[in-house]
Structure 1
């Protein structure tokens, strides 16, 4: 059975026809405002004219001239408003004359542009002759350098998947031998509208079980630094949503290099999850006798199975206070970066897709490529594996 057609009262049809006639609005505009087809509205207008004399009321010569003048002024105001709206997206309050000239030049060369240069200059309150004088000048060395820097900055921004701010991009430029100040990078990024993804505060904590450790000292006391690898580690758990349900990620991070030295991903949050993460860390990196493993007081970390593993690895347990995220802020910081830079920007249809993406982030980006602010914008792998070089040289 075919769908029923929309029906309109005669009063509604006449009202729309009168609006078109009385206001001289385009048929398309009125039709769109009321959700009817333009051709349908044109038929209504024609029938209305036929039933009400067929012609509009005659206007005097002066009235017609005045109407044309008003229509012209209306078009001018519309064009000016549209131009200034575009300018508002690029030009900020107090923009320099040169910045306005650059905007006019960009609009002048836009395909389909109809606004003459003298009007754009008038709307932005700058001199037309000044614009043409500026246009005829050779490009300055400063402008040329900014353009070259903008290309490199965009390259590093896109290479980091839009996660880098101006400090990390400045570190990339410095590493390749390009000399510039952080503030210049910041200025160019603002001009190029390169805005890195922003963090979202969110935290779900776990609590110690009834059979948890009564007293485990905090051996870290918010000092997440170390003088060498393998002496101080932090661990934590987070969850990631997929269309098939949650997956859980447990990590072990070396405080010296901030490298994720061990991780485990599963669809459960049982003790095996954190056990596997710590075992993986012990297999892939050196763990000194008496090394500290710090975590929160979640039930998986206070379980007998996990405590036995810590003892067997000749490590010492350390725990922050319940519900105080700053006591394990290094682990929290990593999860914040993971969620902000990858998870919140992705929709995972399956658990396997999420698992692969998280592994790719940890091993393919965070450890090997991402510049860490606490490492003077060096990379975790770079710091972790370069530690022995001074000792070998000595």
Structure 2
């Protein structure tokens, strides 16, 4: 078809036909009308532009006619639409730039973990740089939840400052104990210093500030029984308590690891009443002299052991004739648990475990023999005079015995 001028009505009808035909294409409709494909496309786009700029238009035909009737208004309308679009894009760009800034700062802020509380803290710390609403949207948190969190912020900060002050006091007690005390003993020590605090709170603060002890797992066999030794009855029956000091004693041997894979050995004698270490001996062997020297020291500490009962395991040292003769000489009755049962001497096992845990502090060995002796000696003396014992109501063995004697004198008076 030759080029010619088309009426406004023809243009409007052509646009209406294209828009009302399902699945229509410019090519198919243009072929039906006998016009160029691009011509139809321009009519349709022009009609759509007019309608988007005038929401109350009454249809494609009216829009095309209005375009022909007011050609001078068309450039101004187009400029207005473009300006509106530019403003929209600029607003979108600002929004995206804000999001990028927030996320860039958040990436550094949440390096240690992205928790809900951390998100609230981020919003609070950056509320002056960005709108709270925008921060909450980007971090995907509820604004009302943030304000609820904010309402309790001062209370939480006051509690945190109080916990920091308590942690400082706990560190002092913990350091004075050689890093050995857990929450029960720390609580007892703080109460003696005039600070009345709940043990659960002490435990929580110790966990929060990583104040803890070290456990020792390495074990070496020190009990080797002598099949030829005379049978000795079990007079304790796993009862490691006593109503008075100087009545029941218990003893055992433990290893002390040195450098280069060598060992020293420690024999101890504990009073069942207060768990006081009344006798000990350290040597580079496990012969009978080791346990005999510990028992002799206990006799000197107590001023004699006549009438007392001494309990041990079935180690060859305790079953030796020389040790039996020493017990007879001191007036001590021997007691032994079952063969192969560590529970029958559990109190001594626990004592030695605490000693190594608190003196080694996680190290593999004590170093040389001289260092080992000094370290263990210092711990044993401090154990009696200052270390709080759970079996004594968190009193040291010496203090526990002192209060017992004072109570007896008060009752006698």
Q: Deviation at 1:140?
A: 6.8
Structure 1 residue corresponding to 2:366, chosen from 331, 344, 348: 348
Match for residue 307 of structure 2 among 278, 282, 290: 290
Equivalent residue of 1:367, what SS?
Answer: helix
Map of 2:342 onto structure 1 = 325
Return the offset for 1:387.
2.8
Mapping of residues 33-112 of structure 1, within 5 Å: 83-87=109-113, 97=117
> How far, CA to CA, are the matches of 1:362 and 1:329 in structure 2?
19
Q: 1:303 to 1:123 in 2, by over 3 A?
A: farther
Aligned twin of 1:60: none
Match for residue 339 of structure 1 among 356, 360, 365: 356
2:378 maps to which of 337, 360, 368: 360
Range 375-384 or range 119-128, more displaced: 119-128
User: Is 1:300 the equivalent of 2:341?
Assistant: no
Number of the residue aligned with 1:235: 251
How is 1:115-194 mapped onto 2 (pairs within 5 angstroms)? 125=141, 130=147, 137=154, 142-194=159-211
Cα distance in 1 for partners of 2:330, 2:285 equals 24
Matched, 1:200 2:217: yes
Task: State the match for 2:388 in structure 1.
Answer: 371
State the aligned residue count: 307
Aligned to 2:282, what secondary structure does the other structure show? strand
User: In the TM superposition, what are the counterparts of 1:15-30 in structure 2 within 5 Å?
Assistant: none
CA contact (8 A) 2:271 2:277 kept: yes
1:313 aligns with 2:316: no
Unaligned stretches of 5+ residues in structure 1: 1-68, 109-114
What's the counterpart of residue 268 of structure 2?
Answer: 251
C-alpha displacement of 1:264: 0.3
For 1:101 and 1:161, how far apart are their aligned partners in 2? 40
1:142/1:344 Cα in 2 relative to 1: closer, same or farther (>3 Å)?
closer
- SS of the aligned residue for 1:387 comes to helix
CA drift of 1:303 comes to 0.4
TM-aligned CA deviation for residue 137 of structure 1: 4.7
143 and 345 in structure 1: CA distance in 2 versus 1, 3 angstrom threshold: closer
- Give the CA deviation at 1:204: 1.8
Contact 2:278 2:301 in 1 (8 A): yes
In 1: Cα distance, 2:305 partner to 2:122 partner: 61
* Structure-2 change in CA distance of 1:142 and 1:358 (3 Å): same
Question: Of Structure 1 and Structure 2, which has the larger fraction of its residues in helix?
Answer: 2
Question: Structure 2 CA distance, aligned partners of 1:251 and 1:191?
Answer: 37
Structure 2-normalised TM-score?
A: 0.65
Over residues 244-271 of structure 1, what are the superposed CA-to-partner deviations in whole Å (9 max), with x where a residue is unaligned? 5210100000000101110000111111
Q: Distance in 2 between matches of 1:226 and 1:248?
A: 27
Q: In structure 2, what is the Cα distance between the partners aligned to 1:373 and 1:185? A: 16
Give the Å deviation of 1:201: 6.6
Q: TM-score, normalised by structure 1?
A: 0.68
Deviations 1:49-104 (A, max 9, x none): xxxxxxxxxxxxxxxxxxxx9xx98x957x7566445247xx7xxx7x4x876799
Distance in 2 of aligned mates of 1:268 and 1:199: 22
Q: Is the 8 A contact 2:308 2:331 kept in 1?
A: yes
Q: Please identify, of 335-344 and 318-327, the stretch whose mean Cα deviation from structure 2 is larger.
A: 335-344
Is the radius of gyration larger for structure 1 or structure 2? 2
**Root-mean-square deviation over aligned CA pairs:** 3.6
The answer as to whether partners of 2:224 and 2:314 remain within 8 angstroms in 1 is yes
- Give SS of 1:342's match: helix
Q: State the distance in 1 between where 2:304 and 2:272 align.
A: 12
Provide closer, same or farther for how the CA distance between residues 218 and 291 of structure 1 changes in structure 2, counting only shifts above 3 A: same
Does the aligned pair in 2 maintain the 1:218–1:319 contact within 8 Å? Answer: yes
Structure 2 segments unaligned to the other structure (5+ residues):
1-95
